[in-house]
A and B are shown apart, each in its own frame.
Chain A
Amino acid sequence: SAVISQKPSRDICQRGTSLTIQCQVDSQVTMMFWYRQQPGQSLTLIATANQGSEATYESGFVIDKFPISRPNLTFSTLTVSNMSPEDSSIYLCSARGGQGHNEQFFGPGTRLTVL
């Protein structure tokens, strides 16, 4: 199994600023992902974080707004740029090793409030 930690656990930010969320996995994993969970909603995939190359973004999400880094097999960051109140959500880091049927683990999430 993999244990995922995220920092910060929560933050309150002003409109127009940016926040970088860090994700650390306690073991090397093949794949890392970032999800968003808006209040009372399900999880929506933002992007797949690729080691050493640009992230793969889902429809509706762009690199300029959500730049992602993955410098190695255990660490990734997600930046929420030029924030607006609509960005208020929980952001979850996720990771999986190996094949698709393997368990995909989730971090505890970062609760972001934008004023």
Chain B
Amino acid sequence: AQSVTQPDIHITVSEGASLELRCNYSYGATPYLFWYVQSPGQGLQLLLKYFSGDTLVQGIKGFEAEFKRSQSSFNLRKPSVHWSDAAEYFCAWNSGNTPLVFGKGTRLSVIA
């Protein structure tokens, strides 16, 4: 089935450390890929998206993601994590005019 998979349910990193959240997609062609963040009690905010062109995508809040067709991956990265980055992160995809389908999410905890 066409989907995105987030293998890590929960990740804990130290403040100032680098971060990589994994996302793998299963789709015959190149999907449109997105990363959203949901802070506790808050709505969903789009961090970045990829649909064509440069495979390294820059987003808001210092996040970036790299689309790798060979690995069917769209991993989210940040070089230095801040305590305020603690949240739930969702990878999502669609194709054409279909609605977004979300992965199960990765909860990020940041420790001092």
Residue ranges of A at the interface with B (Cβ–Cβ < 8 Å): 31, 33, 41-45, 48, 92, 94, 96, 99-101, 103-104, 106-109
Measured CB to CB, the nearest residue on chain A to B45 is: A106
A99 proximity list for chain B (CB < 8 A): 96-97
B window 85-112: CB within 8 A of A: 90, 94-105
> Are B46 and A103 within 8 A (Cβ)?
yes
Q: Is B51 an interface residue (CB 8 A)?
A: yes
Answer whether A106 and B51 are a contact pair too, CB < 8 Å, given A31-B99, A42-B105, A100-B32: no
Check A31 against B97 for contact (C-beta < 8 Å).
yes
Measured CA separation A33–B46 after assembly (Å): 16
A106 CB to closest chain B CB (Å) equals 4
Q: In the bound complex, what is the Cα–Cα distance between A109 and B34 (angstroms)?
A: 20
User: CB-CB < 8 A to A100: which residues of B?
Assistant: 32, 51, 94-98
Q: 14 other contacts beyond A42-B105, A100-B32, A104-B94, with CB at 8 A cut-off?
A: A41-B105, A43-B44, A45-B101, A48-B99, A94-B99, A94-B100, A100-B95, A100-B97, A101-B32, A101-B51, A101-B52, A104-B34, A104-B46, A104-B100
Question: Which B residues, 34 to 78, have Cβ-Cβ distances below 8 Å to chain A?
Answer: 34, 43-44, 46, 49, 51-52
Q: How far is A108 from B41 in the complex, measured between Cα atoms in Å?
A: 9
Q: How far is the CB of B1 from chain A (nearest CB, A)?
A: 11
**In the complex, chain A residues whose CB is within 8 Å of the CB of B43:** 92, 106-109
Chain B binding surface SS class: loop
- Interface size bracket, B side: 20 to 34
Chain A residues within 8 Å of B104, by CB:
41-42
Closest residue of chain B to A4 (Cβ to Cβ) is B43
Residue of A nearest to B36 (CB): A106
Are B99 and A104 closer than 8 Å at their CB atoms? Answer: yes
Q: Which of B32, B44, B46, B52 contacts A92 (CB 8 A)?
A: B44
Chain A residue nearest to B103 (CB atoms) is A42
With A and B bound together, what is the CA distance between A101 and B95 in angstroms? 8
**Known A42-B104, A92-B44, A108-B43: A103·B49 in contact at CB below 8 Å:** yes
Q: Are A106 and B44 in contact (CB under 8 A)?
A: yes
